Structure formats: C-alpha cells, structure tokens
A and B are shown apart, each in its own frame.
Chain A
C-alpha cells in the first residue's frame, strides 16, 4: 500500500471505539490485499491500471467538515430539487455534517444520522454486514479509512412515505474520501432513499460503499445519482441483502466522473424476495462508466429483474458486465437481465457482457444485451415528419431512456435528470 494510507492516518480519524478498531483491522488486511489488474475478469475493460493511488491521500480529521458545517451543497439546491422529504443527511468528504428528520418519524424510532455519531447499538453490528460479503481491494481500503457516513434505520412495521435524502459532496485535489451509506429496514418497514454523489472539477478519489439491508416483508426503493466532476474517480459498491417476501427496487443514474465504477449487487436471501435493478448512464468526453452487477438468488421463488441502459458519445466508454447466479436453493426462481447501449459516435464504445450461472432446477431466466448506434430507420421516420436530425436524435435518445426514467423513485428529480442527459448530448454535439 502507499505511503499515505497508514494505520496512523486511519487511527487519527477518530470516532467511537468500535469504528477505530474496525478501521485498524482493515488496515492490516490491506497489506495482504492483491491490487486489482485488468487481467482479472471482474476488472476486464476497466481503467484500473491507470489508477495511481500515490496521487491521493486520506483526509486528516481537521480537514473534514465538522457537524454543523454548511459548506456542502446538500442543504441547498439538492434538497430543494428532491422535493418533499422526510429526512436528510448531508455528508461531506465521507463525514456527516448535517442531519435532520421529521420529528414524528423520530418518535417512531426512525433514524437518519451519522454512523460515527449516532448513539445506536445496532450500527456497529449492521455495518459491513452486506459489504463484507463482497470484499475487494476497494472495500478493504474503504473500511480502513471510512470516517463515518449516513445511517438510515426504519424499525419494523414503520412506513416512511417521503424520501430520505443522503447527499454526498466530495472535494479536494489529491484527496481520497470514503463515503458510506447504511440503510436498514426492519420487518415490514417501507422507505425510499436517495443517495446522491457530486464533486466539483477536482482530482479526487471516491471509494464509496452503500449497504441496503431489507428485512422480511420490507420494501425499499433506492436511487443513487452520480454527478461528479470530470476529473473525479469513483469506485462504488452498492450491495443489498433482501429477506423473505421483501422487495427492493434500486436505480442508478450515472453521469459524471472521469472513471466511475459501480458494483450493483442484490442477494436474495429469503423465500419470495424480489429485486429490481435499474440504471441510466451517459458518458461523454473521455469518461468511462463501468458497471458490474450481480443478481444472486439464494432462496426459492425469488425474482429479480435488471434493466441497465446507457449511451456513450465522443470518446467515452462504458462497460456492463452482469451475472445472474441461481444457487441450488433458488428453486422456481425467475431472473431477467437486460442491458442496452447506444453508441452515438464512432470514437465511443460500449461493452456488454451478460452472464448466467444456474445451479438450481425449475427456474426461469432470460437475458438480452444490445450495443449499437441510433437506428437509421427511427431517424428517417422522425425526419419524414419534418424534424431536424439533431432534434430527432435527441428525441430518440430520451425515448430510449424513457422506460427507466419513468420507473425512478423520487419523481421530483426525474425532470432534472432528463435535462442533464439532454445537456450532455448537446454539449457533446457542440464539440463535434
């Protein structure tokens, strides 16, 4: 490991005893972790060989925002854009600087607070429960330097109608930050969570982990939006464990970053569990957007659906690599996996690699994957109505993403996200 990522640096981040111990144990494991290379299947096509960890160092505690710090944009425009919400946690460079929650929900035992600061016995046992089951070099690095992060807990039987916002802002050249979002829904609970990431034009490494623990009969809707500046690297793990008859709907919108990778994994642990994974991604300039997905069925009658749709323009590249794993216990499971890509310019490229591993009997499984340019016939059809080619292209691209946008939770954001896609399309066109 590099000079800056030391046990002293990890210890200095402070926080409760259990968190410090957790960090130090991760620092020890870090020494043994094999650093990834693109020759490994899971890193194939990635730009991991271009990551020079020596360029970055973790934040010193005095550099991190303190509670009450208003520098993060979360309290401002992002909160307003999300519309009516039940609670909000603002995270700056991985540390919670502000949190608030509807007092009526607080009274019912709901929590929206900081991992390092909340006085909740459960947080230490819940943290790492999902991410620990899918360890890689970056989750270990994350665990070694995680300062704190957002904790959302909805106790059994409690329904939270409006979204809870987790707003991450990362800033600082040559710095690495380690945002963590931990969401736990008790039995029969319901909630919607927005996990939004952004950074300015800063040469920053974001190593993020989000854990979603969905207990039996609970229902979680989750949206993550990634709008980093174009010099930021993002390596994210989103991992969910879904219990009996519970449902999980995750969605990801990825627009920013220089290299941005998301591992999106759902483990269906209980009979009748369901997960839907959606994503929209749009890369332009020199960006690379990289997705690795897992639909992991480990119980009977489980159902999973995945729809990832992306477009690349200029010299941008994208990777979709997904696995549907039906374990022996997954009798009568039903899984579908679809990845569709539009390649808008000749210099851009998209990889799409769906995979199936079926160890169970009596299952239904389907997958589809497409990579290609905008359909000439569609362009011609719209042009035959008098619509100019640029406008026709805009309509077709937005139309292509429409079935995902339509299904995103936190509807108040959808319009703005569509607008962001159009802006990227128009900027890319202006450069052509």
Chain B
C-alpha cells in the first residue's frame, strides 16, 4: 500500500506560537507522508502538538498567535504553506478534509444538518441547492444515519455525540477528498460508539481510496486502524514504523512507555476509563517554550546518558523502514 507516490507529504514543518512565556514550538520540524488508501496514525500524549500539526496542513492555525514558520506541505505538486488564500480554500473541505475531536461543538447549532452537509458541495462542486440536498441525503445514508430524509431538516442539538460525529464525517467526505485528517475523532465518544465510528471511517476509506491521517493518543485505536505510525513527543517525531514493527519492536523509550501505559483489561474492569489520557509515564511533558538542548524525553527516560542531555538525538533508520530518534539501541 505504501509503495505508491505519497498523496500528502510534510517536510520539516514548524509551527510556533508567540506567547508571553516565549515561543511555543508546538510543531518542531515534523515530516511524514501518506499514500492513497493508507492510514497513517499520529500518536502522542496530550499537548505534544498533534492537533497543531494537523491544523497546520490546512492552515487553520489561529494567527496570531500561531504561525507556520518553516517547512512545507506538498500536495498535488503545490506547497500548501505557500499558496494563496483562494487556493487553500479550494483545497479545504474538497481535496483535504478534517474531522475534529469535539462533535458536540463542531457543528453549527443554528443550521440544519442538510444545509451543513450541502455547504461544501455547493461551494466546491458547483451543485445546485437541490442536487446538494440530494447528495447530502446520500451522505447521511452512507454514514448510516437512519431516517436520513428527516434528519436533513434536523438540528445538531437533536442528535447524540456519535450521530454528530457521523454528520462531521459526512461533511468531510461529501466532496470525495483525497486526504481525510481525523483529529481524535472518537475521544469524546463512548467506547462502543468509538468502535462503530472507526469502522465507519475504515469502510468509507476502502470504498473511496482516501488517505487517512488518524490522530490519537490511544494505541488501541492505532492497533485497530493504522498501516503506519508516527509517534510524536514535544512537537517532534520520535519514531516512525509500520504498525506491526512498532508494536513488535518499539525503538524509542517513549513508545515503550506508551505501550506499557495501555490500560489493561484487569484495570478496565476495575472501573477505569478506557479513554483515560496516557499520563502513566512518570513525569510530564515539558513546556514547549523551554525545551532542553538534548533529548526532550531525557528527564522521563530510564535509559538516559550524558549524551542524551547534551546532544539532540538524530532521527535515523534503526532497521528497514523503522526510524527513531534515540541514542540508545533498543533490543527486542
């Protein structure tokens, strides 16, 4: 699947926020690419820059305070960080779409569901109102919302979170995009609904050949949907591998930490939430405006040496198609 030319390619993308505390390096030189029909998972703890990275692709970062300060986002031969406002609008919601974490607040409460799905259709595909409404109903059927005709005139507040996220998916896929960026699409949902939504995205992806970037902090989700995985820590990519290689043979101590932090069944039955954030690695993510010269994970790592504190680890190929940024060699 990953042999073909990438649909979307990020190179050394850097997004900073100017704050009172200093420059927050939310995304600090991240590269990845994703091919048609492929699912790339981006994982990492809360605050490591996953959302900022995803929003940077479509230039949705609030500016000020945020700004893409370096790198490129190559799509269809164009660098999206450089194209005009008009051009990026043609891409947004049309060639590259996005689903957000909060289905409860991501839809417009004052606009009918039908209208919200129709909007990108009239905008990008030049459909008439009637054609767009017909297609909106098809999309509702596609995301398996029963009574689609009735729901065209419904409002978001009449729907559950899962249904709203389905509507978000319908909006995102309405124009048959090449790339779908899903920023923690299931985090706010019940576990059973989570699985349904992931399955839905997967099935639609197969049907349409969409490249999916699945952002999550949940390795369970990664194992379920991803072909390839990018692990992020403090605004940087620390590991990248096929999903099988990653789980079989993690090369970065942080990834290993994440894996041991996966909630186990005995804990779940104890009443712990499967959804809980991965904070079980000792220590906290450093503030992104005050990162050390060496490895940002050094303080929380059990393999730390002096070199880790003075030199930034190089992102290198540890084994074929398996990359990591760590001075240590992990044996499996």
Q: Do A and B bind each other?
A: no
Interface residue ranges, A against B (CB under 8 Å):
none
